Structure 1
Amino acid sequence: MDDYFRRFEDRTPPPPLPYSPWRESLWQFLATLTVLVGGWYLWWRWTHSLNPDAMWFAVPMVLAETLAFVGLLLFIYNLWQDQPVRIPDPPATVGETAGQGAVIEDPGRPIAVDLFFATYNEDPELVRLGILDAKAIRYPHPIDIRIHVCDDGRRPAMREVCAQEGVNYLTRPTNEGFKAGNLRHAMEQTSGDFLVILDADTRPFPTILEHTLGHFRDPRMAWVQTPQWFYDLPEGERLQDRLGRRLGRFGQRLGRGFERLVGEIRLGQDPFVNDPQMFYDLILRRRNRANAAFCCGAASIHRREAVMEAALRSFGDSVERRVIAAEERITLTTRERQVDPDLMSAIRTEAVVQEVLTPYRFHVSEDIYTSIVLHSDRERGWKSVLHPTIESRMLSPQDLLSWTIQRFKYAGGSLDILFNDNPLFRRGLTLPQRLMYGATFWSYLAPLWNVIFLSAPIVYLATGIAPVSAYTLPFFAHSIPFLILLELAMMVGTWGIPGYAGKTNYLAFFPVGLRALATVLRGRKISFPVTPKNRQAGRHLRLVLPQIAVVVLTGGAALWALAALGLGGTGHTLPGVITNALWGLNNCLAMAGMIGAALWQPQDNLDEGASTA
């Protein structure tokens, strides 16, 4: 394991994207034009372009476009406005984080911080690395830092590591509630003013408290999320180097010449599109203006008071729902208008006993759920912020199986909240917060219309049946300006972060998203698997059979359409074939990224294969 980490130790995280008011103004201008032209295009699609002879195809297609446009509106609202990068001064005492009027026994005492490493079956030596980094945390004022390893695996080896490093070892007899239950148990055993949530593979930087605790000078600040950074992402291999290995000096020259024409090309760079910079530096950071940056778990800092108040409020609401439901059942059964007060008292007592008080709800997406609970507390007005600078490092999924487990958990957990406890109708949330949370949940519904976008060119190329009345000048006059403006707006809005890989990954995600959606709609619980921290050996082509099917069907349909054009007598037209062939090519390139991820092998494996050949 030491050999694995040693090769990445010299890597440093990227700085946060700088704020530019000029670029933001240009983005807002282009985004506004995109919305106007996109609305004009959709109006024309609904009113003038549907193929009357194939409404079974035309209506789902334009409906998919409309739903995708709704997602675009939410995304534009999310990215609309940024804020300058700011790191507040760290407070010296706990009194500086409490606000005026707060009752504190000793406001001049140092701040107490509990660091929780939540672990289950990960290698104890991996956790040791995080412990060592946590022990190196610095702060410009006296501070009481307490490091706790919360081991749900009850492992003697993990206990021994804690004893060797002089940190607290916490465990419990059961795994009730999984990570959320683990954190609840840890909170019951500790008393720090603030909590830092760390996964088993999280390695905090020395500045994590110095840079983040200043946000808590605002007494309503409930938690601070810091960006997650995967420091072991594959950097890939230059095209010229790969060709040089395979073809010698000629291949190296060929690759170098090609790169001079189109720019640097790296093969195998972040094959699973794990780099979260787009999410943290753009999406979550720009939610600060709406007080809607939600917690993502690892590398987040929480005010204990806020977490416990939210737990009590949620507990009270759950008890009240149980009581009301019981009262309704009794009145329906007995046909009495009012239930006996003594019986109601007994029902309330039983509800209190049955309901679980937990700071983090026992849910696969406990982080975002707890965020919704806190944000909806109008009485206290709790706030959150996405801190701009990276303050820790962690491991990325290194194979498609691990990636799929992680993404299925994210999608299923979010969809479960959407369908069973929809935040859009939760009392207490502001309209901007509802829209921001809505953008997150809407994105997990996208596989429903992405399937149509993937199927549409196949249907046309195979049958000659189009979802539009004709691929003529009016169609291109309405669609091309919208597509060009959309690309320009997104390029400016996400300036500084490559976006193509993320867009293709979003499209190729459809099988995982559909499976998560089907699981939730069938009422099945999303499981709590721990994302593997070690690479799962082998190739994982079985996981990408749907993507392979898209490529094969698109390629076969394109060949058939070309043959049909040559033979004549079909519904195909040259503009229609060219348009759908290019569309299908874009779809295939998106699928190719995911298929390549299933086949990807670490460079070490490739080198070993070459040396033994």
Structure 2
Amino acid sequence: MDDYFRRFEHRRPPEPLPYSSGRELVWQALATITALLGAWYIWWRWTQSLNHDALWFAVPLVVAESCAYLGLLLFIYNLWKDQPVTIPAPVATLHDTLAAGSDGLSEPDRPIAVDLFFATYNEDPELVRLGISDARAITYPHPIDIRIHVCDDGRRPEMRQVCDEQGVNYITRATNEGFKAGNLRHAMEQTSGDFIVIFDADTRPFPTILENTLGHFRDPKMAWVQTPQWFYDLPEGVTLTERLSHRLGRAGHLIGQAVERLAGEIRIGKDPFVNDAEMFYQVILRRRNRANAAFCCGAGSVHRREAVMEAALRSFAASVERRVIAAEEEITLTSREPVVDTGLLSAIRTEAVVAEVLAPYRFHVSEDIYTSILLHSDRERGWKSVLHPTYESRMLSPQDLLSWSVQRFKYAGGSLDILMNDNPLFRRGLTMPQRLMYGTTFWSYLAPLWNVVFLAAPVVYLATGIAPVSAYTLPFFLHAMAFLISLELAMMASTWGIAGYASKSSYLAFFPLGLRAIGTVLSGRKISFPVTPKDRQLGRHLRLVRPQIAVVVLTIASLLWGSAALVWADTGHSVTGVVTNALWGLNNCLAMSGIIRAAMWKPEAELTGESDQ
């Protein structure tokens, strides 16, 4: 096992982002101003600024801006209101988690039983051993029955041996039907705990995970609690001074020191894949608590068994009924009989029951969010969820661009598949706030469609001199700059304490993977279920970033041509147009540079080893 991560054992997760009512008021005021200025800008763009001599260019750009503005409005709604950080007192017994008048209260009270599932397929058994050891150290202030299970879809003798040595239950099955979701379903059939905690093979829980989360289930409608995922092995990088000292000696040290005194600390190789999930968990998902729309993200989530099973049974019954109705309609249409014989209808129902799959976790590449939608839409039971703000486990991050791409393509493709085939925006049972929150997620995965336009626009102008706006004059800059400045201020206030530029750059540079995911779903091809590799995939991965490299090359080439055209050619370029699009294009190149560097990134230990050879 490549245990590179052992040198990071000393790291501790950050504290949850603190709540501030004053900062929230500032954010809401700035967000309101931004939304109004954005509407003013979009209206002006459509009505007064289009270049009618080049509508082939002007219209796609303004449509892209409109789509991005709609995404901004959804994002503002998502981030609108936060909640104070609280940790409920842990429940003492099972009765503390049940509703008044429920059947369970008639049974003798007892300690809570919790099943911990480690889902694994082909990961190193020694990696899973670390998670098991940490799980055995979990503490709780009341008597509790903790059962640890390793759910091995790889059917490996060495994994069974680790379980025997650790004294935990080993669960496997003959097939891999449903992949991880099927693995979890099979494990549920073999266990009986009141609550289920889902871990990935590399998840290492902290001792407080149950003590800090089970209190949420004092609410009998609480179906699951998602805890933030923390990647404790994220590269810290090296300072510019350290890197130049290593390469150039004393002279490099002096140069790096001088630069960092002026610009502040500059770190090279810090989290090159933008895996830090603090923005997602502490800002985006946490603020969905107010709408009861925090969805499950898999590892680190705690589930009420009753909720998962009941929702699965309801979905199973509804699917069977749909099959029966469809068959009944087909028979009446072909036979022209007004009704179907009851015996035949009974046989059809039996066949439908056999054909349909009872899946507590939907057999889907994004089984976590799919199951969340299923539970949230159960209006009769009114199941709830919450993003618990404190970090209760640690995990390993993708250590190369290939692993990162596998993971992100799976996220994007799975979400878009749900959007296309079981759109939650039209699903009965969801509240309007829940629809908007889920809509925000799915809309973000469509962004590559208009981000491509934003990447191409400065190249087109600089290469041809054709502008998408009627003129780069004062009215254009007044509308655009007022909106952009207010947007930056609003985002700064909403995410105070969390750096956002890397996330925004990654969002823009994601476009090739996003387009491929969109194309895969639209073509009807299934999204595969690959396991994200836990070991670093050696080598450089420049082939994965060819589109981003092309953006940089085309932007720089067009910039050189556009600058030269100002002096030597009569191509319609203007000074303001070239400067504006040059700045826009260079910002695009800066965003692309992050993922290009990630393709060539190697751990500092590997780089040092190479230099010593």
Normalised by the shorter chain, which TM-score bucket? over 0.9
Q: In the alignment, is the contact (CA less than 8 A) between 2:240 and 2:268 conserved in 1?
A: yes
Counterpart for residue 31 of structure 1? 31
Q: In the alignment, is the contact (CA less than 8 A) between 1:128 and 1:161 conserved in 2?
A: yes
Tell me, yes or no, if structure 1 residue 73 matches structure 2 residue 88: no
Q: Secondary structure, in 3 states, of the residue corresponding to 1:336? A: coil
Q: In the alignment, is the contact (CA less than 8 A) between 1:284 and 1:386 conserved in 2?
A: yes
In 2: Cα distance, 1:366 partner to 1:272 partner:
24
Deviations 1:401-430 (A, max 9, x none): 000000000000000000000000000000
In 1: Cα distance, 2:476 partner to 2:490 partner:
22
Q: Secondary structure, in 3 states, of the residue corresponding to 1:7? A: helix
Q: Report how far residue 131 of structure 1 moved.
A: 0.2
Deviations 1:447-468 (A, max 9, x none): 0000000000000000011111
In 2: Cα distance, 1:474 partner to 1:331 partner:
66
Residue identity in the other structure for 1:39: A
Q: Report how far residue 337 of structure 1 moved.
A: 2.9
Tell me, yes or no, if structure 1 residue 225 matches structure 2 residue 243: no
Q: Secondary structure, in 3 states, of the residue corresponding to 1:131? A: helix
Percent identity reads 77
Q: Report how far residue 332 of structure 1 moved.
A: 2.2
Counterpart for residue 565 of structure 1? 566
In 2: Cα distance, 1:314 partner to 1:558 partner:
56
Unaligned stretches of 5+ in structure 2? none
In 1: Cα distance, 2:545 partner to 2:405 partner:
10
Q: Report how far residue 3 of structure 1 moved.
A: 4.6
Q: Report how far residue 236 of structure 1 moved.
A: 0.5
Counterpart for residue 21 of structure 1? 21
Deviations 1:522-548 (A, max 9, x none): 001000000000000000000000000
Residue identity in the other structure for 1:379: E
Tell me, yes or no, if structure 1 residue 48 matches structure 2 residue 48: yes
Alignment of 1:418-437 (within 5 A): 418-437=419-438
Tell me, yes or no, if structure 1 residue 503 matches structure 2 residue 504: yes
Deviations 1:19-75 (A, max 9, x none): 000000000000000000000000000000000001011111000000000000000
In 2: Cα distance, 1:469 partner to 1:3 partner:
59
Counterpart for residue 101 of structure 1? 101
How many residues in Structure 1 have an aligned counterpart in Structure 2? 612
Q: Secondary structure, in 3 states, of the residue corresponding to 1:113? A: strand
Q: Secondary structure, in 3 states, of the residue corresponding to 2:53? A: coil
Counterpart for residue 609 of structure 1? 610
Q: Report how far residue 101 of structure 1 moved.
A: 1.1
Counterpart for residue 343 of structure 1? 344
Q: Report how far residue 2 of structure 1 moved.
A: 7.2
Q: Report how far residue 260 of structure 1 moved.
A: 1.8
Residue identity in the other structure for 2:280: F
Q: Report how far residue 341 of structure 1 moved.
A: 2.3
Q: In the alignment, is the contact (CA less than 8 A) between 2:13 and 2:230 conserved in 1?
A: yes
Deviations 1:351-381 (A, max 9, x none): 0110011100100000000000000001000
Residue identity in the other structure for 1:544: V
Residue identity in the other structure for 1:406: Q
Q: In the alignment, is the contact (CA less than 8 A) between 1:89 and 1:214 conserved in 2?
A: yes
Tell me, yes or no, if structure 1 residue 260 matches structure 2 residue 245: no
Q: In the alignment, is the contact (CA less than 8 A) between 2:151 and 2:170 conserved in 1?
A: yes
In 2: Cα distance, 1:3 partner to 1:221 partner:
38
Q: In the alignment, is the contact (CA less than 8 A) between 1:94 and 1:107 conserved in 2?
A: no
Q: Report how far residue 111 of structure 1 moved.
A: 0.4
Counterpart for residue 310 of structure 1? 311
In 1: Cα distance, 2:49 partner to 2:263 partner:
38
In 2: Cα distance, 1:9 partner to 1:440 partner:
33
In 1: Cα distance, 2:193 partner to 2:306 partner:
10
Q: CA RMSD in A?
A: 0.9
Q: Secondary structure, in 3 states, of the residue corresponding to 1:608? A: helix
Q: Report how far residue 250 of structure 1 moved.
A: 2.2
Q: Secondary structure, in 3 states, of the residue corresponding to 1:23? A: helix
Counterpart for residue 405 of structure 2? 404
Q: In the alignment, is the contact (CA less than 8 A) between 1:93 and 1:107 conserved in 2?
A: no
Counterpart for residue 477 of structure 1? 478
Q: Report how far residue 330 of structure 1 moved.
A: 1.5
Q: Secondary structure, in 3 states, of the residue corresponding to 1:53? A: helix
In 2: Cα distance, 1:407 partner to 1:484 partner:
30
What TM-score do the two structures reach when normalised by structure 1? 0.99
In 2: Cα distance, 1:262 partner to 1:379 partner:
57
Alignment of 1:517-536 (within 5 A): 517-536=518-537
Q: In the alignment, is the contact (CA less than 8 A) between 2:225 and 2:301 conserved in 1?
A: yes
Larger mean Cα displacement after TM superposition, 568-577 or 303-312 = 568-577
In 2: Cα distance, 1:433 partner to 1:249 partner:
58
Q: Report how far residue 477 of structure 1 moved.
A: 1.1
Residue identity in the other structure for 1:184: R
Q: In the alignment, is the contact (CA less than 8 A) between 1:150 and 1:171 conserved in 2?
A: yes
Tell me, yes or no, if structure 1 residue 179 matches structure 2 residue 180: yes
Q: In the alignment, is the contact (CA less than 8 A) between 2:230 and 2:394 conserved in 1?
A: yes
In 1: Cα distance, 2:517 partner to 2:192 partner:
38
In 2: Cα distance, 1:468 partner to 1:107 partner:
74
Q: Secondary structure, in 3 states, of the residue corresponding to 1:364? A: coil
Q: Report how far residue 281 of structure 1 moved.
A: 0.3
Counterpart for residue 89 of structure 1? 89
Counterpart for residue 370 of structure 1? 371
Residue identity in the other structure for 1:36: L
Counterpart for residue 149 of structure 1? 150
Q: In the alignment, is the contact (CA less than 8 A) between 1:204 and 1:393 conserved in 2?
A: yes
In 2: Cα distance, 1:329 partner to 1:517 partner:
33
In 2: Cα distance, 1:63 partner to 1:246 partner:
48
Deviations 1:126-181 (A, max 9, x none): 00000000000000011000000000000000000000000000000000000000
Residue identity in the other structure for 1:284: L
Q: Secondary structure, in 3 states, of the residue corresponding to 2:103? A: coil
Deviations 1:252-294 (A, max 9, x none): 1221221122211100000000000000000000000000000
Larger mean Cα displacement after TM superposition, 96-105 or 490-499 = 96-105
Q: In the alignment, is the contact (CA less than 8 A) between 2:140 and 2:210 conserved in 1?
A: yes
Larger mean Cα displacement after TM superposition, 94-103 or 576-585 = 94-103
Residue identity in the other structure for 2:504: K
In 2: Cα distance, 1:427 partner to 1:451 partner:
34
Q: In the alignment, is the contact (CA less than 8 A) between 2:463 and 2:558 conserved in 1?
A: yes
Counterpart for residue 196 of structure 1? 197
Q: Report how far residue 581 of structure 1 moved.
A: 0.5
Residue identity in the other structure for 1:312: L
Q: In the alignment, is the contact (CA less than 8 A) between 2:2 and 2:535 conserved in 1?
A: no
